[in-house]
Structure formats: structure tokens, C-alpha cells
Structure 1
Amino acid sequence: TLAEFIKRGIALYLAMGKIDIVSGDTVRFQGDLRVLEDIRYLAENGYGEDKFGNNTVLPKNLSYLKR
């Protein structure tokens, strides 16, 4: 069907890095402040990836995380 064709096309372009889907969602976390700070640092550093999905170096305060 046309919907399936469009879905496959979007998935292909996402995988190739030709398009990106951006969401304006806002999330609020509650809990241990140490964990929340680590989540913030991860978010500020692209969760350890660049916009192409390549691994990047995490900040020193997150060096305990292993890939």
C-alpha cells in the first residue's frame, strides 16, 4: 500500500541520515540528584553519539559508563 511504501521510504532516509525527526517534547525527571545530573550530562553530550550515530567521547565525570 501507499502508506507502507511511505513508511519504508522514511525509515530508509532516517537510516541514511538524509532526514531527522525532531520532537518538541518536554520531559521531567524525579529521583536521585546524582543520577539526574548524569542524565543531564548524557543529554548535553548527545548520549555519546554525534548526529550521524558515531560514538563520541563522554565527559570525564561519565567515564564510569562503558560502551
Structure 2
Amino acid sequence: GGGSDSWGFAGAGTGVSKSNCDTGSVSPELRLCWHTPTSGVVNSGYRCGSTTSTGATYERLIFHAD
């Protein structure tokens, strides 16, 4: 990890505009991006749908199904 890594997703075929997090504007409701500046660390989020600069104001949950 460097200083500008991130993790997230976007809708199929919409492309990703990756600076230090996804700034793409096509189908924003299908996008999520979290900063991951160092290995094993996930900082506050950058975007949840069309809302950006979410910081620590959003609760982050990951659901998994077998």
C-alpha cells in the first residue's frame, strides 16, 4: 500500500475514475469507495452512492452469505 490506495465497487460497464478513491459520475448510486492507505487498514469512507466525503459519519457494514 502507498498513500493513495482504495477499495470499492461500481456498476458493471460504468468504469471507474480512480484518483485516491473513485470519483466517477456515471451511475453514482451503484458506487462505493473506502480509503486503504496502508496494508490492513481501512480509513473512513469517501463515497456511498452519490454522497461523497462521508468521513466517519456513516456506519460501515459488510454482509456475507455462504
Do they superpose with TM above 0.5? no
Write 1 or 2 for the structure with the bigger share of helix: 1
Higher share in strand: 2
Normalising by structure 1, what TM-score?
0.26
User: Higher relative contact order by CA 8 Å / sep ≥ 6: 1 or 2?
Assistant: 2
